[in-house]
Amino acid sequence: MSPYVYTARNGIHIIDLQKTVQKTKEAYDALKKLTGQGKKVLFVGTKKQARGAIERAAQACSMYYVSNRWLGGLLTNWNTVKKSIARLKRLEQMEENNSFEQEARTKKEALSLKRELEKLRQTLGGIKDMAVVPEILFVIDPKKEEIAVSEAKKLGLKVFAVIDTNCDPEPIDYPIPGNDDAIRAISLFLDTMANAVLEGTGGEVIQTNFAEDMDAEQLALEYQGEYDESGKFIMDDELPPVAKDIPLDPEAAKKAAEAAAATATTEAPEVKPTTEVKE
């Protein structure tokens, strides 16, 4: 991750947001081009912070997702997974027809079928319409989703991922250095990539700040933090928020942040950057 780290302070690594914007642009353009060629995307993010954003982004651009648990062999043993998907669809049909009791011999069996349906929905609901293995994998936190990444690489899929300072960018075709733990950051990256898919497939894009103005200052306004003396923006959730009407200029933003801190009624909190090296 060293090419994407701006500095280190007391063992804490700070991601260079200039690199974040640059790599986001590269990923955006590549995803737009690939989906414009008819290629499909599987979005993967099973950590709690990512689940909701993964589902929303995938649904917004009519792609597939895994947000609960990655089944080992989901890609490399696809024919077996398809049988489970067929079972899911069968149970959903039974639910729609209200025929659980008719299919089961006892109430206990009917309850068991309903529980099986819910379990399959949680695991396979986001891929039940996925007829074949997709060509693209988009991952939040490839360290956590290392099995998914490994399967994708074995099959030659293009892998896009948001990578924090504890991740290895080597297996990723299109790495995006960024905070993969903060819900706001995850949502911003996913909404942006959903727009890339929508542009590629001719859909109507959704509103995101990256789509409006993908430069470092605009990205910085989506976070709380401060500019250092060189003009680099450092994220920090505990600092006073930067107002939305601040001009997109590092020096002006820095002065405004200092003014906001000076007028706070309580003692300014200790600065703790949000992007940390994880064990």
Strand runs (DSSP E) across 1-93, as ranges?
Answer: 5-9, 12-15, 41-44, 64-66
In a domain, 112, yes or no: yes
As beta bridge partners, residue 225 has 235
pLDDT digits (tens, 9 = 90+) for 32-74: 999 999 999 999 999 999 999 999 999 999 999 999 999 999 9
Strand runs (DSSP E) across the chain, as ranges?
Answer: 5-9, 12-15, 41-44, 64-66, 136-140, 158-163, 174-177, 225-227, 233-235
In a domain, 110, yes or no: yes
In a domain, 103, yes or no: yes
Q: Alpha-carbon distance 64 to 129, whole Å?
A: 8
Residue 147's pLDDT band (boundaries 50, 70, 90)? very high
Write out the residue range of the structural domain in which residue 114 sits.
78-127
In a domain, 83, yes or no: yes
Q: CA separation (Å) from 222 to 47, 93, 124, 213? A: 22, 44, 33, 12
In a domain, 233, yes or no: no
In a domain, 93, yes or no: yes
The CATH number of the domain holding residue 88 is 1.10.287
37: which residues sit within 8 A by CB, 6+ positions away?
200
Per-residue pLDDT at 274: 43
Q: What is the number of domains present in the chain?
A: 1
Per-residue pLDDT at 251: 52
In a domain, 259, yes or no: no
pTM above 0.75, yes or no: no
**Among the listed residues 148, 142, 122, the one whose alpha carbon sits nearest the alpha carbon of residue 42:** 148
Give the amino acid at 79: N
Q: Alpha-carbon distance 153 to 165, whole Å?
A: 21
In a domain, 121, yes or no: yes
